[in-house]
Copies of this chain bind each other. A is one copy, B any other.
């Protein structure tokens, strides 16, 4: 049997499989299909300070081997999250990686502090900071597109949270040099990285000859973008191996549908894997991918999951 456990920035997880933020709601819905406590961690929908209605509809467009979404971070706000969602996840024994978001660096810090002060916070194995949000202070430029804005958010969140709780910065691929953003986040105190968020895309409704999404542009996800995710993980891992930045765990996400897909990200350097859009096709995808990945590692003779992380750099 392959040892599938993994330690991410000091937190031991039973396995490396996670949901992806925004692709699994906050647990109850998927718990009808599998026991969410079976996951390495459950990543919740990015939560902001206040309740948010999100954008108008249509919010999605299907694309070849993927989809576009413009949800606009609809959510209940951090108060409702710590009162209802997090305790529920804790009650079923899930380990949680809450994802937080903000329109300003102060909002991130505020969300983090409410989270840290909450009763069920013990279920958290870290906090994922979704920096792919428009920064209202900077003409709506996404934090993750700017190393300075990214590092401001990460250092504020890092200061706010207790040291035992690792902070993962979730990066956007829509940048000229993702290693520069990664390095800025690590400099600011991030304990790990999650890569990648969606790519900015757009679909035209050719019946109406106008943008199909109510929000005009949206985020592209699904198997079609997997090569971009693998490349991003590879580049950042490579930079770590070359000593350009400290070596921290990378959580790989983007287009994973099967255990083989997950293994690509792992071999490129990911220490954990999130399954997003594939969950819409198969609600049990995160646990199915875990089974498939375990089987593959076994058949290749790996004794433990950790031995496979980044192996493609050695060959």
Question: Which chain A residues in 273-308 approach chain B with CB under 8 Å?
Answer: 296, 300, 308
Closest B-chain residue to A200, C-beta based?
B231
Contact status of A210 and B312, CB under 8 A, knowing A64-B224, A201-B227, A255-B64: yes
Contact among B66, B203, B210 for A315, CB-based, below 8 A: B210
The stretch that binds B, out of A42-50, A51-59, A158-166, A263-271, is A263-271
Residues of chain B contacted by A201 (CB below 8 angstroms): 227-228, 230-231
Shortest A237–chain B CB gap in Å is 11
Residues of chain B contacted by A223 (CB below 8 angstroms): 63-65, 224
Shortest A4–chain B CB gap in Å is 17
| A135 within 8 Å of B (CB atoms) | no
Interface string of A75-117 (1 = CB under 8 A from B): 0000000000000000000000000000000000000000000
Closest B-chain residue to A263, C-beta based?
B206
Shortest A29–chain B CB gap in Å is 26
Interface string of A190-224 (1 = CB under 8 A from B): 00000000011111101011110000111010111
Residues of chain B contacted by A222 (CB below 8 angstroms): 64
| A170 within 8 Å of B (CB atoms) | no
Contact B63–A226 (Cβ < 8 Å): yes
Closest B-chain residue to A300, C-beta based?
B209
Contact status of A264 and B224, CB under 8 A, knowing A209-B311, A217-B231, A231-B217: no
Contact among B202, B208, B228, B263 for A231, CB-based, below 8 A: B202
Question: Which chain A residues in 161-186 approach chain B with CB under 8 Å?
Answer: 174-177
| A125 within 8 Å of B (CB atoms) | no
- Please tell me the size bucket of the interface on A: 35 or more
Contact B63–A227 (Cβ < 8 Å): yes
Most B C-beta atoms less than 10 A away, residue of A175, A200, A217, A228: A228
| A68 within 8 Å of B (CB atoms) | yes
Contact status of A315 and B208, CB under 8 A, knowing A200-B231, A201-B227, A227-B220: yes
Closest B-chain residue to A207, C-beta based?
B300
Contact among B206, B211, B220 for A296, CB-based, below 8 A: B206
Contact among B200, B206, B315 for A228, CB-based, below 8 A: B200
Contact B199–A228 (Cβ < 8 Å): yes
Further contacts, 12 of them, CB under 8 A, given A201-B231, A210-B312: A64-B224, A145-B177, A176-B176, A200-B231, A201-B230, A204-B230, A206-B263, A206-B264, A210-B315, A217-B234, A220-B227, A220-B228
- Top 10 A-B residue pairs of the complex, sorted by shortest distance between their CB atoms: A224-B224, A201-B227, A64-B65, A65-B65, A64-B223, A202-B231, A210-B315, A204-B264, A202-B230, A204-B267
Q: Which residues of A contact B (CB under 8 A)?
A: 61, 63-66, 68, 145, 174-177, 199-204, 206, 208-211, 216-218, 220, 222-228, 230-231, 234, 255, 260, 263-264, 267-268, 296, 300, 308, 311-312, 315
